[in-house]
Structure 1
Amino acid sequence: MLKLTYTETSFHLECLAQSLEEWVAQRVILTLRVGQSLSVEPSTASFLLPANLPGLEQLKTQVQWEEREILALCASDCEYIEVTLSGSWLSDGSENVQGVFVTTLSDRTEFLLHKLWVAAQACASVLSE
């Protein structure tokens, strides 16, 4: 399962071994116990990866053969590829931009996507220094 946590200023991508159903069920139980609202709805999430990342061609192949229904790649411009995922958005139901997006892909694709995202973060931190 991939989990993207969105805050006002950024997002974080995690690859979890837990199934999507188990994770959502635990999240529902937690919000009930603490008396908070929880909204779960079908949605999409997008983020950018540098177009020159090593391994991006492998992801393109995975999408072409296995993940067409859940994962789409589109050239944003000459420097970035937009990754769009289909899944579920969990939030407190308010109109703010904070929440969690979850989806399930093949283990191989999840691992590769997480690896590429980590590499992109490393590149961005080097450039900002």
Structure 2
Amino acid sequence: MLKLNYTDVGLYMERTTTNPELLIAQRVLLAMRLGQTLHVEPGCASFLLPADISELKVLGMALDREYGSAATLIAVDEEFVEVGLSGSWIAEDKDAHEGMFLAVMSDRTEFLIYKLWQMSEAHISSLA
């Protein structure tokens, strides 16, 4: 499973083998114990990757073949493509910009997305 954490400083992605239902149940239990509200809903999330990454073609084919419209790869401009995923959004409220997004895909596709995201983060860090 891919876990995308959207924070005030950006996106952090990780791969985990935890069952998504178990992770959601644990997060709900934690919120209840802390007296916090929690919003969980099916949804979509997206992030950008540089358009010049050679493996994007492989990712595009894998997403088309395995997920159809549940996962997309769309050119934004000459420099970036947007990866869109379907999954579950978990946040403090419905309109929150910070939260956790969970997407379950095949191991191969999850690994490829994670690898490309890591490459893009390294590329951005080297520019700073």
Range class of TM-score, shorter chain? over 0.9
State how far apart, in whole Å, the 1-side matches of 2:68 and 2:118 are. Answer: 23
Contact 2:64 2:71 in 1 (8 A): no
How many equivalent pairs are there?
Answer: 128
- Residue 105 of structure 1 aligns with which residue? 105
Output the amino acid matched with 1:106. Answer: S
TM-score by length of 2: 0.93
Q: Is the 8 A contact 1:70 1:105 kept in 2?
A: no
2:88 alignment partner in structure 1: 88
User: Which residue does 2:44 correspond to in 1?
Assistant: 44
CA distance in 2, matches of 1:54, 1:25: 38
% identical equivalent positions:
44
SS state at 2:67 partner: coil
Q: Which residue of 1 aligns with 2:64?
A: 64
Runs of 4+ aligned residues of structure 1 deviating over 4 Å after TM superposition are none
Please provide the CA RMSD for this pair: 1.3
Q: Report the CA distance between 1:70 and its aligned residue.
A: 2.2
Residue 55 of structure 1 aligns with which residue? 55
AA matched with 2:7: T
Q: Where does residue 32 of structure 1 map in the other structure?
A: 32
Instruction: Provide the C-alpha distance between the structure 1 equivalents of 2:87 and 2:75, rounded to a whole number of angstroms.
Output: 21
